[in-house]
Chain A
Amino acid sequence: MNLMKLSFSYLRRRLLNTLLNVLLLSIGIATVVLLLLFTYQLEDNLYKNAEGIDVVVGAKGSPIQLILSSIYHVDSPTGNINLGEAKELMGSTMVAESVPLSLGDNFRGHRIVGTTTQYLEKYGAVVAEGVLWAYEFEVVPGAEVAANEDLKIGDTIFSSHGFSESGHTHDDHALTISGILQPTGTVIDRLILTSVETMWGIHEHHEHDDDHDHDHHHNHDHGDDHHHHDNDHGDVHLHQHDRDDHHHHNEHDAAAENASAGHHGHHHTHGRTITDTSFLNADYNEEQITSMLIRYSNPLAAAQFPRFVNENTSMQAAAPAFEITRLLNLLGVGIDVIRLFAIVLIFASVLGIFIALLNSMKERKYDLAIMRTLGGSRFTLFSLVIVEGIIISLAGGVLGIILGHTAIEAAGSLFSEAQQFEVTGFVFFVEEWAILAMALIVGVIASIIPAYMAYKTDIAQTLAKA
């Protein structure tokens, strides 16, 4: 027998009330934990993915939207920019490095990003198996995409237009998986990467499919011997390097013919050769890309470059560091509201525990007097009630922390929006000890008055009334 056992025996007697108070407190604590886990991980992810990117240049529009779409790959891009114009910025002395991004397609909801290998270097991404793209229409999925969609080297996939699975499928151009990336813990894991030219290639067809307009203003010759020729069916026939006939060849012929009766073209798995600079060919100057991730050559550029872009071009420059802060400030309002809600819940549970203990003091008056006659001191009785408050609040605290982690883990794996930011319930922060300590204080505060009443119990008077 000890105070703990004795306290438990009283809590057990009013089990429902005890559970209610534990639950109430745990929901309040869970909300606090949820906020903590969410904001810390969000901030961490926001800054981690923006490392090495001083500024993003894209079409004019909302700067936050540009940052979200180009760095985190959520939200739609602000539009496209002209490659010719972008190239002028790439040549600026203020720019140390610029990585092009071409967005607009997805495979089963995973965004396909046309870029260069510099993009992978930025995130330290390397191939786990296979090789990076060397030809047009070769793609390299991130680790998570490959795992989720069970993609293997040599598999072919078809992209859909837009950013959701429901988009129009570009079923006339198979993309071949040439390699799979190792996990990086960054946004790259959830993307499918390819060359900028692949993105152009896909949409070239798309346009043709849509309007059957054969007026090719794009020149697709770039160093290979085969001249791109228009054909009557609006198909682009890409003969490439006279490679040996591919075993996919016939299958794709059949598939294409079945899928679209009007097209009789056959598709080669390999398109044009791709290098990191091949997209800079002057022939592509009229093509479009979505944005550029730029690293400055010197710190002074941070002051001059964005202003130059915003004032003198049809494009905009948005600095991630600034926009992330702005975004977090915007989110902060919502977070404050939820935090207030958590405080109200915790306050309600303090009141709940207080009232429950106060009520139990009335029915327990004789018990307390008896314990005194048995040799218990005033302080023993005081402690007994405090221990009860602490048991409830610690149970609420521990349950709340478990609930909070479970909720964030569930949210992280259930909602695709949360998935983008890689929130997980399997991380613990030192602040959670502070939350547990707060729960403890809550228990002490709630029980201190009832405990004082127990302390003040007049034994003789109480027993005389029995």
Chain B
Amino acid sequence: MGQNVPDQAARPADASDDDVAGEAYFDAVIAQDSRIEPRDWMPAAYRKTLLRQVSQHAHSEIIGMQPEANWITRAPSLKRKSILMAKVQDEAGHGLYLYSAAETLGMSRDEMTEQLIAGKARYSSIFNYPTVSWADMGAIGWLVDGAAICNQVPLCRASYGPYGRAMVRICKEESFHQRQGFEILLELANGTPGQKQMAQDAINRWYAPSLMMFGPPDDDSPNSKQSMAWNIKRFSNDELRSRFVGMIAEQVKVLGLTLPDPEVRFNDETQKWEHGPLDWDEFKDVLAGRGPCNAQRMERRRAAHEDGAWVREAATAYQAKQAAKQRARMEVAA
């Protein structure tokens, strides 16, 4: 239960009175910026919004394993291979926490997975871009995980308890991921001319898609207002995007590389970082399934799930048999 919340009056048995009391409680929790927990009453729309957001986030972690897994077998040093394996494995772990958080809202991991492979659920569209060079491992860590951190740090305070707590752990690991990405790029930028070119090329390709990870501009983001009212979302898309641009504009100097956007600047009047126009038509295309790797990512996920079905069935059958044996032993003993 949320903390610092006034005691609730005993709830009447009547369901609609229950809803009235529940809603009053929910509103009080939100007003006090406290936390809603799984057993608390919550509006159906709040539950639906969260379930969509948390499951999409989980799917993004799982699909997001693929572009990086693409380089595990080719990592150019054993140390890098080791770090990359650990990172991709972390993402599977993030997916697991997030599916668990989403399950508290009333949908099983199996159902969420079915929705994903049936194409009924979304995941972050950034993962529909291909990883064509080793430097992409750096750019994904620095830019994609960097953008994810900007988005996710405020989510640690999300009003839904399980989601906020999952985000705390995820953010810690993401910040390690971002550092290792930056380090990959730093090493390349200080390497041979070919390596430096590889790093610049990766930044050129991942810059705009990473900015679009924050979602559409505020005037075209219909759900943001309600999410902010519910204390799920704390800052607007454009606000977070501007902060991110400011962060990377400084960091890219350390790399001795450039952002592919001559319009990046700090606006003294608004006190905000600005960037050049983004291609939102491309964003919508990729979101609608017309990105470079959408079909490939979905196919891999589907293949892993379907090829693994016999293994999951075996585990379930084995467990049932063991339980039956256990019962039989207990009956004999009794």
> Are A and B co-members of a single complex?
no
